[in-house]
Amino acid sequence: MVFSNLFFLYLFLPLNLILYFVTKNRGFRNAVLILFSLAFYAWGEPIWVTLLIFSATIDYFHGLIIEKNRGKIGAKLALISSLVLNLGLLGIFKYSGFFVENINLITGLNFPVPSFALPIGISFYTFQTLSYTIDCYRGEVEAQHSYMKFLMYVSLYTQLVAGPIVRYADVAAEVNSRKETLSDIYAGTARFLVGLTKKVFIANVAGKFAEDYLSGDLTKSATAVVWFGVIMYAIQIYYDFSGYSDMAIGLGRIFGFHFLENFNYPYISRSATEFWRRWHMSLGQFFRDYVYIPLGGNRRHQYLNLFIVWFLTGFWHGASWNFIFWGLWFGVLIIIEKLFLLKALKKVPVLSNIYLLFAVLIGWVMFYFDDLGAMWDCFRVMFGAAGTGFWDISLELVLENNVFWIIAAVAFCMPIVPTVKKSLRNTRSSKSRCSLFRYPRTWLCSL
Give the CA angle between residues 374, 377, 383 to the nearest 5°.
145
- Distance between CA atoms of residues 256 and 259, nearest Å: 10
Half-sphere exposure of 155 (CA within 13 A, CB side): 30
Which of 62, 258, 280, 317 is an active site residue?
317
Task: Give one word for 256, left, alpha or beta, with left for phi > 0 and alpha for psi -120 to 50.
Answer: left
Task: Find the distance separating the first CA and the last CA of the chain, reported in whole Å.
Answer: 53
Residue among 230, 246, 235 nearest 413 (CA):
235
- Distance between CA atoms of residues 327 and 66, nearest Å: 34
CB atoms within 10 A of CB 410: 13
Helix (H) or strand (E) holding 374: helix 372-382
Question: Quick check: is 280 catalytic?
Answer: no
Residue type, 419: T
Distance of CA 86 to the CA centre of its chain: 20
Instruction: Give how far Cα 7 sits from Cα of 32, 34, 100, 181, 239, Å.
Output: 18, 19, 39, 26, 22
Helix (H) or strand (E) holding 208: helix 204-214
Residue type, 363: G
Query: Are the beta carbons of 267 and 242 closer than 8 angstroms?
Result: no
Backbone φ, ψ for residue 440 (5° rounding): -85, 120
Residues carrying an active site annotation: 317
